[in-house]
Structure 1
Amino acid sequence: GRGRPRTAVTEALVAASDRRGFAVARAAAPLLRPLMRASAGRLWRDDLAYAERRWELRASGRFPG
């Protein structure tokens, strides 16, 4: 009723490896983390916009869903 989303999604990833490349990635994580957060945020906004467009089409009867 207030125009706010009622759905929340939480994701988590835990990874471990003894491989050398993994150690390099772990060392680079502080530099990569802000870029990954920005990219993930952009994807979520795009997904939300897409879902809203589909809902509008279904609600108007222009999308066979």
Structure 2
Amino acid sequence: MPLFYKEIKLEYDYRVNLFVENEVVVETKTTKGINDLHLTQTLTYLKLLNKEVGLILNFNVTSLKK
């Protein structure tokens, strides 16, 4: 997703892992645990896209029920 500031496109883009039905931001991780950085990243995407629903999925577990 390109990033603009005052109609100027910045050099760096943000990369959302999945954006479902133009409504849900999904961030996928494979890490020991979800930390504040992951939460901040997802909240930033939600704010930039003006959306309210986001999921952080961590695949580094023995069962996704955890």
Q: What interval of TM-score do these two structures reach, taking the shorter chain for normalisation?
A: under 0.3
Higher-Rg structure is 1
More contact order relative to length (CA 8 Å, sep ≥ 6): 2
